[in-house]
Structure 1
């Protein structure tokens, strides 16, 4: 018999013990199997959990009564009675992913079976380290929640991706909105009324790509987020790598250049100062002031001071020579940095994602040339250079899956 509490109520009950505690752990393992492996029979689950068939049957019945799992019917069998196949109910629960970019927000709703039910991209927003910017962020999320086709009771958690230093374990953001003694995750959670978790944006993108994107059997993968800054997510032996305080992957802040350019982190010579979207914007503006022409100005009439990174990427993809040349320069410097990573990690795959990655070969070829020039050939021969398959949805999917893992202890 059940404990009288729902599965999710039991998850939040710190005083649960005895038989109820054992049953809860078995239920979590059942859901983890369905979530990470797929549908299964009672016999499969009994072997996996080292539990009796009657025990597994009782637990499945309780989960089914709550609407968390369902019977998907009988499967083909060579002999004997055909067993029933069980799996997660897609609409048993949902997760919201929120990706905060410099000038817009992406939001999405993921169901229990990793289906992206709703996606709302490029909602106008300006990320600033101010209480007003935090208020605007919460308002956008609340508006999105109000438009969803599911009840708030079925939204199990919100995953919020921010750039900079995020301690995912404590919920603190040290780069943005560090105004309160309590963690930012708790501040936002109190406003939304839904469990909220923070994650670094590049790491969430990486996780989305690892789970649902271009990664197949690879276990050691680097994801490079090429946007205004440069971020990185690291997968080692199939697991997302955080480091001691959750700050791993600060690839953009390696002191790579001997220059006087001050990075937004406050130090000089970071890789971001010459190999990022910020550097591309700065170089583009300098060339325009020197009299070099671009279709962004001549055809689209955009003032030089109003040009965005997306404008330059769009121009490159439409054969603007200035944009192409400057992206190649950034790609060469970036590739030298990636060559260093390849020498260090010897990864199976390096994934290029983010805004600048959408320029395709304009960024890939100079990066690849630099990798060949600066990394050890015996090492880079085993490394694939790939593009993100999920694109702007990678961070949303990653955020939702990370929340699902944390809430249901599936990781």
Structure 2
């Protein structure tokens, strides 16, 4: 059995389990340290050189590891240098949004080798929508020209309540007792891990984006909904059931507006892409002017309003600023509770730049405790549409190569 078969086998035991665990440890060591000698691997994993040499030969036969030959040594016998084969293994990340998919493939060294953003897809909680999702992902893999059997696993991000340990999504595609992850595995032919989109985006930024050396971070996902990814001491925070970060469902208003969660007055009812679209249309209907005034009101969507703001539309900028003030007040609550080093603003609304950042910053100065606020930096997402894709791929890599 090759490494690619072993890593997707969930019922290994005894010698086979110990062997795949050792292989994972060695690959993880290469991922973190680059090329190295047998002696360095022995020191890291605590096993003898003959045992490591045997496992390295198996990984070489599987096409994952390469012997790069002798290296210079000041004295004694020259050791061989080993490292990962470029393009030997990949991870697929799929970030599901309300009306499109962002998809990407990374290699073992976490570099993106193929990327597709804003692939049209209408997210509906139906079997038809799920079937379409299977089809789009399978076609994407074919178009990438990467051998499917070299993709070690896939991470799929959805909004709402996700329990990644069980593979259940409680907001979308929860039609029967079978976990969504198992349905995806059966239809895509690879290991699948589910994740909440805000958490995956937070991890993407933490690993390769806006984070420098900070360890306590809040990522605010400003999209059709409103979510938060929480990183505490460098680790994603999930909570007891895996549902931590439902920022948008904090009861904040006495507005009698029904939220998607079934409650009234949630923060998301006035601070989200859905809320912005509703309010913007109401303003147009009442006579306000905009560069979108020539469009049929019912056809105007969240993306139209973002583009209008980027193109200096006064109405769009005013409504985003008003929303930013409310959002800043909500983030102030989080800052007072978590005292983070860094707050990252991401999601579609982040594309409006200073139009959303400045009112948020102003509200933070007004509503958060100054001693706490002074220690918190505010940054915009650096990865943009790639944040969720990169986060999904890296989380899959971590989980598949984990030896615990």
TM, length-normalised to structure 2: 0.94
Shift of 1:351: 0.7
Q: Which residue of structure 2 aligns with residue 91 of structure 1? A: 87
Q: Which residue of structure 1 aligns with residue 142 of structure 2? A: 146
Contact 1:32 / 1:410 at 8 angstroms: preserved in 2?
Answer: no
Contact 1:262 / 1:269 at 8 angstroms: preserved in 2?
Answer: yes
Q: Which residue of structure 2 aligns with residue 283 of structure 1? A: 279
Cα distance 1:223–1:87, how it changes in 2: closer, same or farther (>3 A)?
farther
Contact 1:100 / 1:160 at 8 angstroms: preserved in 2?
Answer: yes
RMSD of equivalent CA atoms? 2.0
Aligned runs of 1:309-388 on 2, under 5 Å?
A: 309-388=302-381
Contact 1:404 / 1:410 at 8 angstroms: preserved in 2?
Answer: no
Q: Which residue of structure 2 aligns with residue 217 of structure 1? A: 213
Q: Which residue of structure 2 aligns with residue 29 of structure 1? A: 25
What is the number of residues matched between the two proteins? 403
Q: Which blocks of at least 5 consecutive residues in structure 2 are unaligned?
A: none
Shift of 1:244: 1.3
TM, length-normalised to structure 1: 0.92
Shift of 1:23: 3.8
Residues of 2 paired with 1:120 and 1:233: CA distance? 23
Contact 2:4 / 2:149 at 8 angstroms: preserved in 1?
Answer: no
Contact 2:25 / 2:401 at 8 angstroms: preserved in 1?
Answer: no
Cα distance 1:41–1:215, how it changes in 2: closer, same or farther (>3 A)?
farther
Q: Which blocks of at least 5 consecutive residues in structure 1 are unaligned?
A: none
Cα distance 1:369–1:410, how it changes in 2: closer, same or farther (>3 A)?
farther
User: Helix, strand or coil for the counterpart of 1:358?
Assistant: helix
- Which range moves more in the overlay, 358-367 or 256-265? 256-265
User: Helix, strand or coil for the counterpart of 1:296?
Assistant: coil
Q: Which residue of structure 1 aligns with residue 399 of structure 2? A: 406
Shift of 1:26: 2.5
Cα distance 1:193–1:261, how it changes in 2: closer, same or farther (>3 A)?
same
Aligned runs of 1:12-27 on 2, under 5 Å?
A: 12=9, 14-18=11-15, 20-27=16-23
Residues of 2 paired with 1:403 and 1:52: CA distance? 30
Cα distance 1:261–1:15, how it changes in 2: closer, same or farther (>3 A)?
closer
Residues of 1 paired with 2:403 and 2:226: CA distance? 30
The reply on whether 1:202 has 2:195 as its aligned counterpart is no
